[in-house]
Structure 1
Amino acid sequence: MVHRVTGYLMLLCLVTAACLYLGPLAQLVGRRHLMVTVHEWSGITLPVPFLLGLLSPAFRADLRRLNRFAVYDRQWLRAVRRRRTSPEARPAGKFNAGQKLYAGWIAGAVLVMMFTGLLMWFMGLLPFISRTSAILVHDILAWAITFVVLGHLRKAFEDPEARLGMRTGHVSLSWAQRHHSRWLREEREGDAAADAVDRRMT
């Protein structure tokens, strides 16, 4: 749910930004004041799903996974560069190295976009930073985010089972073995340990 709501807010930001930035699209859509308002508030609420997600232990566990870059993540990156596709060549936990890099980059980019957006919204916030500088950084980073998000969406549409897992919370064993073999091993070891504890208690 955090991923989905954040994604909708990000798409709303990008679409309204396009309606404000691209002349032909701005003329077609009109209602500039509405577009500005929606853009500002969708941007300022982007961190809200993340903050609400912190109430969930499962979400906090995923954040810890995303925040750890292990030896096998470097192996995964090397395998990608060498175009190796076997599970042994691309060992990955619940999140692969590409997903970890994307999550870190997009989190930093959103913070910078919010900061520069607030500077433009409230011009007197930091008077020693010019509005022109804030606009320049905001615009360049907006284009970078657009291309990165499009790449993220392309990868998602290439993997229907990953999308199914995002919607339902379940994936097949064969998919997990191909794409997240280390995570599958960790889950099995955890289940085996839990069974052993249950047997001892009974």
Structure 2
Amino acid sequence: MAANYLQSLDWQNQPDILRHIITFCSKGKSLDLLANFYVACAQVEIDEFQNYDKAFGALTEASRCLSKVTAPKDPNQHHRATEIVQQRLTAVKRFIDIKRLFERGDVQSGMTQCRQLLMTGGKDLEAAVRRGDIYAVMIQTCIKNEIFEVGRQLFNELKQILDPSTNAITYYLSKDVIEALATGLGLTVNDLLPVKFVENESEKEDDVIEEVVE
């Protein structure tokens, strides 16, 4: 009960609460609950911080917890949970390895493996590795290596898989990255993104100015 309550608190920003949750679950031998918590930690690392290394660490801990459950209350559910965690571990590890290829300067292999991951990841890929993050890594690599036309193609593909009614693309690509791509192509940001995006960005800046003035 205590662990459940603590999970409802702001454990993402308070390390003490995080440690207490792990301690409660461990002492109470609630390994399945602790595994679920580690999975939640992994998701936060991906959704909030795009930190796949930490997500991999959390998923590894979740897998260890599940492996220690000797007599699960529901064997089928436990087996399914183990499969899901393992699938996510595999996908996250693959993405981390791809990013390391780019870091080593192996652009062609990195691009090829990104494409393979997008094509073979299946419907469950998004739960482990967000497609937007895969495209973001490829686009950033194109900018770094001045392969701007390929970057533009990837940028357009990213726009197509996102909800057109939102500005979700800015969730994956920073303003600086978008501007760098536009500059490399000899374009303006308006040429890459709808006017609606530019208007919304201006509104955000105005709101910030108003808040400061107040």
Q: TM-score, normalised by structure 1?
A: 0.27
TM-score, structure 2 normalization: 0.26
Taking CA–CA contacts closer than 8 Å with sequence separation of 6 or more, which of the two structures ends up with the larger relative contact order? 1
